[in-house]
Each structure stands twice: as C-alpha cells, then as structure tokens.
Amino acid sequence: MGTDANTQALNHPPARLTGAEIVWATLVGEGVTDVFGYPGGAILPVYDALRKFPIHHTLVRHEQGAAHMADGYSRASGKVGVAIATSGPGATNLVTGIATAMLDSIPIVCITGNVSSKVLGSDAFQEVDITGITLPVTKHNFLISRAEDIAPAIRYAFQIAKSARPGPVLVDITKDAQQATAIFDFEAAKPRPHRIHPMRKVEESGLAHAAELIKNAKRPVILAGHGIIESGAMEQVRTLAERAQIPVALTLLGLGAFPASHALNLGMMGMHGESWVNHAIQDADLLIACGMRFDDRVTGSVATYATKAKKIHIEVDPAEVNKIIKVDVPLIGDLREVLEALLPRISSRDGAAWLKTIDGFKGDSAVRDIKNLPDLGHLYAAHVIHDIWRITGGNAIIVTDVGQHQMWEAQYYHHEQPRTLITSGGLGTMGFSLPAAIGAKFACPEKEVWVIVGDGGFQMTAGELATIAQEGIKINIAVINNGYLGMVRQWQEFFYERNYESTPMVSPDFVKLADAHGIAGLTVRTRGEVAEAVNTARSAPGAFLLNFKVEKEDSVYPMVSAGSALHEMIRRPGGNDPLEES
C-alpha cells in the first residue's frame, strides 16, 4: 500500500460494485500496481473492468509465464506478485508456476475465472476443478461464487501468501460472481489476524543451549538459506557471523543473503558446492542452520551428513524441523526475531584456527578452476558468467533457468545483495528464467536485469520474447548454448555410460528468433569476444540477446552424485584441457 491512487481508492466510502470491479479495487487496496495475465471467457468481466483501475496488466504468451512473472516480481521486490488467468486450460497452465512458487516459498496470488456457479461440476466448456488440482501446490485456495465474498477472499489470500513461511494462494471466482454486484468495503473485508502456528516454540532454555554450543564450538559453520531473505535477517546473520567469527555456507536460494565478498563467506554448499564448503560442513562440530530445510541437494546422503556436528535449527515452519536431519536445538520461529533474542547471548570468539583449516581445504581448487585456465580458443560458460559478473559489478539482478548454467551462475556470479539472484531451486523449473525476469524488471525497473538460460530451457518459454517486445522493457538475455540438455547429458556421462539419449538438441538461430521479435542480438563464439558483447548488450537501448556458443560437453564440477556423502565429490579433471580425463 502507499501510492496516492491506492489511498484514494481506500478513502472511497463503501460502494456497490460488480464482482469484477471488486477484484481490481481489492488489488489496488492491497497495493498492487502490476499484474500478469491472459484473458479468456470465464475471466472476461474482470478484464472488462480493468480500464477503471490504476493497475498495469502485462499480456503474457502462456499462463505459465504469468505465474513465473508474478513469482519473479515477488522475488525481486519482496512484494506479493499477482497472476490472472481464465478457467480450464488457462488455469491448468498456471500450475507449473504455482508449484515453482510453492517449493521456493514465494508469495504470489493467482486469480482465475471459472464457469458460472450454476454449471460448476457439469463439465461445462473450459471448466476444470482448479481448486482441486492446485490443492497440494498452494498454501491455500478459494472457490468463490458470490460477489460479496470476493474482497474478503482476496485480502485473506494476500495475508496467507505473506505470512510465516510464504507461498502461493489461488482464488477461483465464478463468472456469475464477477457479474453480480455487492457492497465493496475494503476495511470490512480485512481478514482476522494471522494465527501463529501453535507449534512455533523458542524457549529460554533453547536460546541458552544454542549460545552455549556456539561458545564452545571449535569448528562451527552457519548454513544460510532463503529464510534469511524472506525474514529480512541479513544484518542479524552477519552480526552473528562476525561477532563469533563463524564461516557462512549458503544454499542456492540463500545466495545474496550474506555478501559474497565477505571474508567469512565460504560459498555455496551441496551437490555443486565448492569442495572446501562441503568439507567444512562434514568436518564441523556445530552447524547453525538459518532459514534452510536440509534439502537433498544440500545434504547428499543423510546418513553420513555432518555426523560430528551438533545442530541448531532456526526455522519458521515447525514441519521442517527434524524432517530430514535430527537437530539438537530447534528454535522454531521467525529467523530475525530468534536471532535478535540470541545475539545478546553471543560474545566474541576467536575463529582463526578453524578458518585457517578451511582455507587449507581449498588446496589446488584455484588451479583447477576453469576460469583461471589459459585461453585455448574454447569458450566456457564459466568465462561468460564471470565476465557478466565483472562487467556488471555484481549489481545486476540475475535470473537463471535450470541446469548447468544455473550452477555455473551460482559459482561464478558473486552476489553481494539479497534478491539479486532469482532462480527456481526447489522445483527446478526449466523455462522459468525469461518470464521471471520480466516480472523482476517490472518490480525493479531501474535495475539491470540479466537472464542466464540454457538452450533447452529458453525454448520452453521463448514465446515471452513477444511479451518483452510488446512491453518494450530492457532485459539482457545470455543463452548458454551448448547444443545439449547439458545437465541431463552430464548425468548420462557420469552415470549412464555416456548414452546421450535424447539430449542433443537442434535449436533455431536464437539471434534470428530475437530479430523476428524486434530484439537485437549477437552470437559469441570465443572468449575474447565476451566482454565486448556484454557491453554491447548493456548499452543497447532495448532488450538484447547474446547467443553464447559454448563448449558442448563441459560439466559442472565439483559434483556430489545423488546419494553420496557430501565430501565424496567428483572433481574437475586436472591438466590444461578441462574436457580431457586425467
């Protein structure tokens, strides 16, 4: 809330409006300025009423894009993103985007039209049971068939989406409810206060125990997750780390929650985490998990995970505690609040010896790092991402897709600030990046936005290039084009005897494809061209696509194969040719 238009809308006395008008009036009241959607029969009354309200609607090319845009909007800004679709296929097309937001705890509200209440359940044209379909992938959903229920449902949906552990909420509104009228009273539609989960529990004894463990730990590591960003606990985590000199390992979604350049930042943990990070976790005698959920991509084999370590788990969702990893001290509550209660009990500590040990774990990692190899005429994704980081000064919002390039981004783009990396972690949704970047750009129009995407994922939602063109927004797109579904190919190489079944991919000329949308582009084939191309894209007035033709069979290293212990890593072969087996 806050803009003049919003305040104005709220100051209006209760008035009789159509259900369709109530939808927009409620969104305006909730502070919404941008929505992403696609019209259709069952949502037409809502679209018809749009012109009366100060909300910008972005027409997407596929409803999956609308959900991802709402998601990207939310991840970039911290606000609730909104997607709109019609009934039936419009609604089902949202589902992948909704599940993506669910798995990563992103607050979005999706509004769908449905057939009139009289024919609900009759297999009417474009009717689908979308509240049934989305039940397991939403925090909650509503089926609304009366105009007077619309405002309370949408306001409640916003509250649910934002509260505790955030997530997506869907409001399905029948066409007759959109057409009927009701008294709109924004204040009266306010939901009752959010109920705090009764199993949240932060006890004095728990805080004291945690402080004691931290005080006595010889080899502590902070595990920093997405919850830090959602809770806004960046300062508190930093204070804890600095005061007690505890190194910080980050999850993929935690990147940016602790500055990459900070002396205590170890980097990303898990399947494609750097070797010293995983070794530090495996050798630790204390893990302080902050807003993370011990995902299988982070733990490797659970049986062998950090067996020497006591574990403190600070987490807002009681259902996540002791789900994967048994912890010694659960502190179940909002991360920022818990840390604020804990910090007065933490005094300064000398962590030098442990930090030196971790430094020793680095060994020859730098020598093996592909970006430090001499230029032998090959173009590696690492070069591209390293240059984008260097040239943007680490200040851009990077939106990645899913696969090898996503992991290389996590390794080579160093995020200093929260909300500068937008990526689908939990669901791993290919096709996420282009629409999510559009949402991010609407949330932060003044920020530089880059899409880093593989040739596979790009083609899943490339239709949204037309959305970029129609909206005239400036997004830079770096396609990491290796002619394969790279991550699947890598698994085939490591675990399926190089049987590259269905992973080689013939793609259109992406520069021509961009050109057909009125978007300029360039193909880059050598390392020497990268920096200039990145600069060209940045200085171009409109959206720009860079087609990086990278090494076809490069792999992401190190790698902990699924089910292995976290310290059992497949490392990049040594020698000058990174593709040559050593």
Partner 1 sequence: MLHTFVAYVEDLPGVLTRVASLFRRLNINIHSLTVGRSEQAGLSRMTVVCEASAEAGHRIQASLYKLENVVEVDDIAQAPSVTRELALIKVAATPRTRSQVFELVEVFRARIVDLAPESLTIEMTGVESKIEGLIQVLNEGEGRILEICRSGKLTMRRGHHTSGVLKAMSVGADESAEVPAEDGAAVEQE
Which positions touch partner 1 (CB under 8 A)?
A: 131-132, 135-136, 139-140, 143, 160, 192-201, 317-319, 321-323
63 is catalytic: yes
As a whole number of angstroms, the distance between CA 95 and CA 356 comes to: 48
| CB nearer to partner 1: pick between 6 and 159 | 159
8 Å CB contact between 497 and 468: no
Active-site residue (options: 487, 492, 510, 544): 487
430 is catalytic: no
Neighbours of 192 (CB within 10 A): 7
| CB nearer to partner 1: pick between 120 and 391 | 120
Provide, rounded to whole angstroms, the least separation between the CB of residue 173 and partner 1.
Answer: 16
Pairing state between β 449-454 and 476-481? parallel
* Collapsed DSSP state (helix, strand, coil) of residue 552: coil
125 is catalytic: yes
**Tokens at 429, concatenated:** 């949704």
As a whole number of angstroms, the distance between CA 560 and CA 571 comes to: 9
| CB nearer to partner 1: pick between 183 and 196 | 196
Provide, rounded to whole angstroms, the least separation between the CB of residue 121 and partner 1.
Answer: 12
Active-site residue (options: 79, 139, 162, 175): 175
Provide, rounded to whole angstroms, the least separation between the CB of residue 166 and partner 1.
Answer: 12
Give Cα separations from 192 to 142, 145, 187, 289 (angstroms). Answer: 16, 21, 11, 32
Provide, rounded to whole angstroms, the least separation between the CB of residue 143 and partner 1.
Answer: 7
For the four alpha carbons of 279, 564, 257 and 464, in that order, the dihedral sign comes to positive
For the chain, helix (H) and strand (E) counts, in that order, are 24, 20
Do you know the residue count of the chain?
582
Provide, rounded to whole angstroms, the least separation between the CB of residue 182 and partner 1.
Answer: 20
| CB nearer to partner 1: pick between 144 and 460 | 144
As a whole number of angstroms, the distance between CA 401 and CA 419 comes to: 16
| CB nearer to partner 1: pick between 150 and 373 | 150
| CB nearer to partner 1: pick between 296 and 515 | 296
8 Å CB contact between 430 and 403: yes
As a whole number of angstroms, the distance between CA 573 and CA 558 comes to: 10
Distance of CA 499 to the CA centre of its chain: 32
Taking 3-state DSSP, the helix, strand and coil percentages for the chain, each rounded to the nearest 5, stand at 40, 15, 40
Provide, rounded to whole angstroms, the least separation between the CB of residue 193 and partner 1.
Answer: 4
As a whole number of angstroms, the distance between CA 351 and CA 579 comes to: 38
Provide, rounded to whole angstroms, the least separation between the CB of residue 169 and partner 1.
Answer: 9
Provide, rounded to whole angstroms, the least separation between the CB of residue 195 and partner 1.
Answer: 5
8 Å CB contact between 215 and 349: yes
| CB nearer to partner 1: pick between 201 and 512 | 201
Active-site residue (options: 1, 8, 118, 125): 125
| CB nearer to partner 1: pick between 194 and 308 | 194
Task: Say which residues have a Cβ less than 8 Å from residue 368's Cβ, sequence separation at least 6.
Answer: 557, 571, 572, 574
8 Å CB contact between 399 and 468: no
268 is catalytic: no
Provide, rounded to whole angstroms, the least separation between the CB of residue 96 and partner 1.
Answer: 18
**Tokens at 207, concatenated:** 């805080």
| CB nearer to partner 1: pick between 144 and 222 | 144
As a whole number of angstroms, the distance between CA 138 and CA 379 comes to: 42
175 is catalytic: yes
As a whole number of angstroms, the distance between CA 227 and CA 373 comes to: 36
* Collapsed DSSP state (helix, strand, coil) of residue 245: coil
* Radius of gyration, alpha carbons of the chain: 25
Active-site residue (options: 21, 30, 36, 63): 63
**Tokens at 288, concatenated:** 């302080």
Catalytic site positions: 63, 125-126, 175, 487
